[in-house]
Structures are given as C-alpha cells and as structure tokens.
Structure 1
Amino acid sequence: MGKASRRKGADKKTARAARVPFAPRPFEGLPGETGWVAMREILPAATARLTFSYDGGEHTARVATVLPLAWAGLHRTDGERFIATQSGAGSGDLSRDLAAALIATVDTEPGQPVVKTPPVTAETPRLQDLLTGDAPEIELHDGFDFWIEQDELDEATAASLEQANSAVTPTVPLPSVQSAYWCRIGERTYVRWVLPHDEDEATAALARLHAAGNDALMRGPREVSEERSGGELRGVSEAGRLLGAFRTCGLLVPVWEVDAAAEPASYDGGMGELSTRFTEALESVRSGDPLTDAERRARAGLVSRQITIR
C-alpha cells in the first residue's frame, strides 16, 4: 500500500473518531453525578428511575447497571423501559451513548431489546439534554430479578437468572455520605467512595490526610463498644486502611480495605467522620495552602498506585 493510500485510510479513521467530542467527565452537570459513576463502575445490581423529555413528550425509564446479554436497552412488554450503564458502549462520550439508548427504547416496540447502542454523532443529544427531575435514587438489588416480568419466568429463564444472581458482589451503601459503598470481593471487604471533586484537588486532600495519619476509616464508637467484652475488643480491627484510588469518568474513587468480620453498617459513622476530615483537607488545598514535603511524598505514592478505568 502506498503512502497516499495509508494516509487516506488514517484520515478516514480520524474523521470517524472526531464525530463525537471526547467527554472525560461524561456525567458532569447531571444531578447525582457520583451516583451515575457508581452505577457505571462499582455497583453490580442496581436500578434508578428516570424521567426525560423526547420528541415533544415526557417519558419514564429505569437505568440499570446490567441487562441480559449486555443489551444497551430494553422495552418490556409491560411498557417498562430500561437502559444499562455497563453495556460496553464507547463512542468517547458515555452520556451521549446512554442518551441514544434511552431514545431507542422509545422507538422500540414493547417486548424488544435494544441489543447495541445506536451509532451516535456530535448532534446526538446527551443525558444532560434529556433528563428532567432530581438526582436518581439508586436502589440496590440482591440479584437481577428486575429484568423480567413474572409471567416470563420459565425454566430456562429461571436457570439463567440464577446463574447471573450467583455472580453478584454483595454491596451495601453507607448512607452517612453520598456514593460510598461497602462490598465483599472473595474473602476480603472494601469501602469505595466516589468523590465529586476535581481529581487533582481530591488527590491532594487525600495526601494531606495520609501524611497526617488521618486517612483511616474507623468503625463507629457505638458499634465498637458493643463488641467489647471485659474491656477487650475480641480481635476486631477498628480501622480500615486506605489502599489507594482509581480514576473513572473523570472522578476519583478512593478504596479502603476493612475488617471482613465486621458488619457493613459499623463503618457508616466512621465514614461520616472521614468525610468531615476530607472536606477540611480539601478546603485547605483550595485555599492555596501548599503541600508539605511529607504531603507531596504521600501524593506521589497515591498517584503511582492509581489506575484509570475506561
């Protein structure tokens, strides 16, 4: 192949890629941005109700983490519409991909799935253009029973559903702060917190906490005291250790490993206290207070362990 032909092929690929502007923070500006990120990356089985405007009409739908066979959307025979955040679409703007799936559920006959996300362009609306109402209220599920209608549960469907349900990671919200979730992966347990702030500022605030020894996730005093017997703690660890953070959808998600023997709710009070400490550290960063040498080293350590998901 000659240089001209290769250049022509490269130009076509560039043109296709340029059709949709890249959105590093696709849910920015939406009410409940961190909830959208959580449903995209860290929640196994969850739904939330949406209201949206399209083609001069008002519509409702449910956003889900996953749909059968990784479908992008579904219009059930009972009229319920779904879109999935974890369908694998990738135009460069996840908000536009999900909006395209949402529109497709309106145009799809009841009882039919939206198997793949429709192609999008720079003219395709984004979720920010369609959604109405407040931040979606996320509902966690033990499994994927919300996929089906009761009269659809034949033997084959029941077997498939049972298999999917067995793979669900146990996940519990910590309601003292927004978008913080306890989860069990194998034999170990973690708390993951989706932060709504600028990545660099959030990383600096975490580094400031770490350098001061204030980044541990403590269990609430009430829960800890209930487990004491004769002044002893019976081998239960009171603090969760900050492992690091990952970056996704333009936001930072720090992760703590916590005691696998403790109840998830026992960390809720400590999560609230940690949130207060983090907010204070963030405010000091935003005020221009420079990082100390120890804080810069802590920041370098956090950054070196960061991974970016999608």
Structure 2
Amino acid sequence: MPSTTHDALVRRPFEGIAAERDLVAMRQLIPAATMAASTTAEHGSVPVTIATVLPMAWPAVRRSDGGIVLGLQASVPGGDLSRAFGQAVAQALAAAPGTPIAQLDLTADSPRLQDLLDLDGDFPLTVHDTFDFWIDPGAERTAEVTQALQTANESIMPTVAIEALPHAFWVDAGAKEHVRWVLDADEDAVIDAVSRLHARRASGLGDGTRYVGSFRAEGMTVPVWDLPHGFGAEGVEREAPALRERFEAALAETAPLTALERRARGGIVARQVTLR
C-alpha cells in the first residue's frame, strides 16, 4: 500500500510482505528477535537481518561484512513505517561497512521495504533470550560493549513463539504471564468471534486463564490472555490447539450475535486500545 507523502499514515505498513504478522509482533511485542531477509537482485542481494532493536535504538547498521541489520523498534519519522525502514535500508546500502545509521533522511521519494526486499524469501523468525545478535562478528568486543550487552540482556522479559498458535507469543512479565496473538482478520470479525466465545465461557486458554482485551497495531488485531504464574509456554502449547479450533469456528459463524453475545461484545470493545 503506497503512501502519497512520507507523512501520510499507512495503517498496514508491512502489507504485501509474507511475514507481516511477525513483523508487527517484532515491532510491538517481542523484546529480542531476528528475521532473515535480503534485498532484491536489483539492489545487490545484500543480506538483511531484521531485528527488534539495536544499540542506541539505531534504525539500521551496515555491518563490517557488508550485511545490514534493521531495528524495527526504532523511533522513525513519517506516517509509513515501511517507507521509513526502507529509507534506513537505502542509507545502509550507501554507507561504508561498520557504519550505524543514526538519522534518516526521509522524503516522499524514499523507497519502502516492499521495494527493496526480496518478497519471495521465507522470512524465518528467531526469538532470542539475549541481544548477542548485536555483536558484529568483524568488530572488537570491548569491555564497554560487553557491559552494555549484559545490561540490555537483564531487561529482556522471557518470550516464546507458540508453534501451535502461529504468530502468538507467550511472555513472562513477572507477576503475570500473557499470550498475545497477532491476527490479520477483520477487526470487527475478531471481536465478534471473541464475544461469541466469551458468552459461552470459552474465551479463556485453560484453567485460571482469561481473555483480557485486545489492541490494534499496524493494522493487526492483537487479543491478549492473562495466565497464572507458572502456566508457562508449555501450558500454552498444550491448550493452544483447542483455542485455535474454537476461535476459528467462531470466526466462521455468520449468524447475528445473540443478546448475551452483544453484551459481551460491549465489554470487549470498551477495552480496545490502538497502537500506531
């Protein structure tokens, strides 16, 4: 979805990239993760590592080996994340190896990620429990770098991708655990499905869990479940197939909501939050 100017808001900036839902998760949910990609042959077939965050919150780095690392959680200008990060890739391509991109020169002519990346790639996602991917293999690992890395690693909340619930992620937030599931279905349809399940007392993930609401981010709807401490990613994997089956069946229903389901929906809508 192109934007007319670099300031125009694009609500689904990663649309057209097969990994759209995981990119939204990397931008909004996951502390430490990487995704393998590359530029098109036209742009040199350069390896691109899409990451959650980089040191100093840089948008991108040109590594000493010529590869590019992109930091999706960087604060970037404009209303189109794809154009901003496309500009980060373009500047990294023009930079000398070993150079961080600290500031973006964004214009209406800046390329989007969809213009630069090979969209036929698999875009595999890897969730990490450290920020060791920050380290440039060709750069010296000084005491200062080691200390900064240790400090950053201590801030990571344990996060696991749920295999039985694609694009869902378990996180241990301390006092509570959560599951957050990135969905690309129509938002109203998602809320209707959760409302149907909620009215049937079937919107939870398992014993002691509860659906607590959802938020919107980059055009996706992200339902959230609270879990009791100790439930763990293993517990989510165990319960996820049944939840997915219930949810997909509810999503396929087309009958009007019952009175009970409408009341459930009112409470759910009141808890919606939008993240841009």
**TM-score, length-normalised on structure 1?**
0.83
Match of residue 131, structure 1, among 109, 114, 117: 117
Q: Name the counterpart of 1:199.
A: 187
Q: Name the counterpart of 2:71.
A: 84
Match of residue 84, structure 2, among 93, 97, 114: 97
Letter of the 2:188 counterpart: D
Q: Name the counterpart of 1:300.
A: 266
Q: Name the counterpart of 1:263.
A: 232
* Gap regions ≥5 residues in structure 1: 1-16, 219-237
Q: Is the 8 A contact 2:46 2:67 kept in 1?
A: no
Question: Counterparts in 2 of 1:29-68, with a 5 A limit?
Answer: 29-53=16-40, 55-68=42-55
1:149 to 2:118 alignment = no
Mapped to 1, the partners of 2:104 and 2:165 lie a distance apart of 33
SS in structure 1 of the partner of residue 157 of structure 2 = coil
Q: What is the CA distance between 1:29 and its match in structure 2?
A: 2.1
1:244 to 2:210 alignment = no
Q: Is the 8 A contact 1:45 1:141 kept in 2?
A: yes
Q: Name the counterpart of 1:231.
A: none
Q: Show structure 1 runs of 4+ deviating over 6 A.
A: none
Q: Name the counterpart of 1:116.
A: 103
Letter of the 1:204 counterpart: D
Q: Name the counterpart of 1:167.
A: 155
Mapped to 2, the partners of 1:194 and 1:19 lie a distance apart of 26
Larger helix proportion, structure 1 or 2?
1
Q: Is the 8 A contact 2:61 2:69 kept in 1?
A: yes
Q: Is the 8 A contact 1:30 1:135 kept in 2?
A: no
Letter of the 2:145 counterpart: T
* Gap regions ≥5 residues in structure 2: none
Q: What is the CA distance between 1:97 and its match in structure 2?
A: 1.1
Match of residue 202, structure 2, among 187, 211, 214: 214
Q: What is the CA distance between 1:110 and its match in structure 2?
A: 0.4
1:283 to 2:269 alignment = no
Mapped to 2, the partners of 1:88 and 1:298 lie a distance apart of 36
SS in structure 2 of the partner of residue 58 of structure 1 = coil
Q: Name the counterpart of 1:21.
A: 8
SS in structure 2 of the partner of residue 217 of structure 1 = coil
How many pairs does the alignment contain? 271
Q: Is the 8 A contact 2:65 2:97 kept in 1?
A: yes
Task: Give the root-mean-square deviation of aligned CA atoms.
Answer: 1.7
Post-superposition Cα deviations, 1:45-90, rounded to whole Å, max 9, x if no partner, equal 0001112227553222100000010101001112231011100113
